[in-house]
Amino acid sequence: MNKLISWTSVFLASLFAMQSYGAGTGAGTTISNTASVSYEVGGATVNADSDPVTITVQELINVTIISQDSGNVSVSSPETGAKLKFQVTNTGNGDEAFIFNQVGLGNTAANRFEAIPSKIYIDDGDGVFDPSIDVEYDNSAPTSIAPDDSITIWVTSDIPDSLNNNDTSQVQVSASSKTFSDDGQDSPNAGDVVTGGGTSSTDAVYGSAAANADDTATFVVSAIEVSIVKGIISITDQFGTSQPVPGAEVVYSLTVTVTGTGDAESVTVTDSLPDELRLKDSAAGIITVDGVDLTAVGNDDDATYDANTNTVTVVLGTVTAGSADSIISFTTEIQ
């Protein structure tokens, strides 16, 4: 009878533990419960309880690292501190610190150059890279991440000189458990243990999802630079002078220049006008592109004006570096 009660207790404790996981029962959590049995003797009901069975949840170390760049990241040649964005999530059940490493995977058929690893920064929470605010990550004293929490890191690399347009280089970024690294286990297997190395002096167990994880992102060299300059050609008021008063017409010019080597594809110019300005004659107005007058109404040519958003848009398409500047002009009215 006692043996039955004991095994029942173990089973119930295990079942309770499995049902409690969800995002992971926290390391150091004590799971304790008892089982009971009832029986009748001489018409009386008798209850008996098992001794409590207690287990302490050990730390299971897991991590994920995922690139946050939606596609290849454009860089110049040369460039210092080209950045890639990654999210690191502690998917384990205890506080854990991770060591980050970056490796350039260049000089292969798919990668034409080697990006030179530089520094890693922790984002301050705004999602915008600013090395004067974002703190440089120190692998000798890495930041501890709570279970299910994430941090964003910026991984920077230097891009060599004399590269060609569209040359690419993959950069692999890995996150490895500091606990296992400190224990000398740089390549552990699932289920390996660091005795007493976990949260609350529990054992640290290497997870099946890996306590070491990595992801890659790709730099692509853009030897083309597209610039735009906006200027005022003229101001004409209703009194025949050039005062910028309500009712005056202001003619703007947009100059698009493409330098470098190769082609810039899908070049699109957008000018969102402030509320104080409107395109003259609205959708019936004229937008001049390289000396050709185009109607501002949509869907009939490459120039449009959206009165709802007060936006002028011109599609220039593919422009070869070194070709003549594209000149766009249009007339607005001050409201």
Question: Which tens digit of pLDDT belongs to each residue from 217-227?
Answer: 999 998 888 99
Are 61-221 and 224-334 in the same CATH fold?
A: yes
Query: Average pLDDT for residues 221-236, to the nearest whole number?
Result: 92
Contact between 210 and 63 under an 8 Å Cβ cutoff? The reply is yes
Question: Which tens digit of pLDDT belongs to each residue from 244-293?
Answer: 999 999 999 999 999 887 788 899 999 999 999 999 999 899 999 999 99
Confidence of residue 211 (pLDDT cuts 50, 70, 90): low
Q: Which of 20-34, 120-134, 253-267 has the lowest mean pLDDT?
A: 20-34
- Among 154, 152, 171, which residue's Cα sits nearest to residue 214? 171
- Among 94, 90, 153, which residue's Cα sits nearest to residue 124? 153
Give the other-Cβ count within 10 Å of 20's Cβ: 13
Residue 330 has pLDDT above 60, yes or no: yes
CATH of region 61-221, choose from 3.30.450.40, 3.20.20.60, 2.30.38.10, 2.60.40.10: 2.60.40.10
Ordered by start, the domain boundaries in the chain are: 2-57, 61-221, 224-334
Q: Give the burial class of 242: count Cβ atoms within 10 A of its Cβ; 0-12 exposed, 13-18 middle, 19 or more buried.
A: exposed
Q: Identify the CATH number of the domain defined by range 224-334.
A: 2.60.40.2110
d(CA 176, CA 40): 58
pLDDT mean across residues, the chain: 88
Residue 85, pLDDT score:
97
Residue 162, pLDDT score:
86
